[in-house]
Chains A and B, each alone.
Chain A
């Protein structure tokens, strides 16, 4: 209440985090590797492609020193296939995220996004990554000449966003004070957009159901108490404790 900003991230902050994602560029000029805080970048040697963070790729693109090669899931065929999954195959769930790569070191946990490159040219083509919406929009805006059919991609992204937001909203009807809605595969921007509404619904449901919850807890406590006085359920209760 006292904070002026609502909880969660603003769209601009989500887009800023997306700029950390690696994308594949095709350089037009040579550039030595740079030692950045986030680690060294590979040297750029035309015409060999290299993976750079999105923010650096955008900078080079703007200076016409490189072209960005869009990730495979951003081509129209992939997007159409994903759209088909969203509309026909799964009415409730979202299209599944890409499977995690196998762990290299058994002692370490599996690498997961954002530490798995999901927007490079060898990313899986049949799944939307966590930052799909903002990455798609940014690339379409800054590097639309690197797409073969930018308008078609733009239209497909819009369709995907509409249908997935619709599903997220419909999720409110199955929400419960204690239960949840399955959100596997939901992207960062979608989480940011849905956060205020979904937490609001859960909060409202919790307030309405508070008295019932209280009554249930009291009944359970009473039953436990009676159990000790009575004979039969005594053992069971003690087992639980």
Chain B
């Protein structure tokens, strides 16, 4: 198996976590060097760490931390996506927006969010295809939209652009011979 860089980068994105226990000596991650981490403190932890702590059950009382949805998947963003998927800058929300959403949806049951994201992805894909086939797209009025693509969408744009380009260059090559 190969290590997938995008999967690693997705797991490195921060999610809000709330500690449910006092942890001695861990205060430094909250800016309180040398002290204890108080119960109820909210800190941003990488997804892989937060998930691990949230699902592990060290005591009978419950998990060490509780996870929350990151700001990128907040209701505010969802409302914006529902209103018009094309104008939202997904990259500013999270560089691996869809991958992060897919990971969070494994942990939270949010059927409505799945529907919103599916609709968003379809609408934006159609726009990406149009931009990728327009040779001047990346420089013209589409530049704003293309800057806001997340990593999955960038790959999609790249592959659509490459195949359009290779077909065009086949036609041009044939004319030369």
- Identify the A interface with B (CB < 8 A): 1-2, 6, 10-12, 15, 137-138, 141, 165, 169-170, 172-175, 177, 189, 192-197, 200-201, 204-205, 207-212, 214-215
- With contacts A175-B122, A211-B114 taken as known, whether A138 is within 8 angstroms of B174 at the C-beta atoms is yes
Q: Which of B84-135 contact A (CB under 8 A)?
A: 98-99, 101-102, 105-106, 109, 111, 114, 117-118, 121-123, 125-126, 129-130, 132-133
CB contacts (< 8 Å) of B98 on chain A: these are: 204, 207-208
Additional A-B contact list (19), CB under 8 Å, known A137-B174, A170-B126: A11-B167, A11-B170, A12-B173, A138-B174, A169-B126, A177-B118, A195-B163, A196-B159, A201-B121, A201-B122, A204-B156, A205-B118, A205-B121, A207-B98, A208-B117, A209-B114, A211-B102, A211-B106, A215-B109
Instruction: Say whether B167 contacts A189, CB under 8 Å.
Output: yes
Q: What chain A residues lie within 8 Å of B102 (beta carbons)?
A: 207-208, 210-211
Partner of B155, one of A169, A172, A200, A214: A200
> In this assembly, does B166 line the interface, its C-beta being within 8 Å of a C-beta of chain A?
yes
Knowing A2-B2, A208-B121, A212-B114, the reply to whether A192 touches B167 (Cβ < 8 A) is yes
Q: Which of B's residues lie within 8 Å of A, judged by CB?
A: 2, 98-99, 101-102, 105-106, 109, 111, 114, 117-118, 121-123, 125-126, 129-130, 132-133, 152, 155-156, 159-160, 162-164, 166-167, 169-171, 173-175
Chain B residues with CB below 8 A from A208, complex form: 98, 101-102, 105, 114, 117-118, 121
CB <8 Å contact, A141 and B174: yes
Label chain A's interface by main secondary structure.
helix
Tell me, rounded to whole Å, the shortest Cβ–Cβ distance linking A142 to chain B. Answer: 9
Q: Which residue of B lies closest to A201 (CB)?
A: B125
Q: How far is the CA of A137 from the CA of B117 in the complex (A)?
A: 41
Per the bound structure, the CA–CA distance linking A77 and B123 in Å amounts to: 37
Measured CA separation A173–B120 after assembly (Å) = 10
Q: Lowest 5 CB-CB distances: which A-B pairs, in order?
A: A11-B170, A196-B159, A211-B105, A169-B129, A197-B160
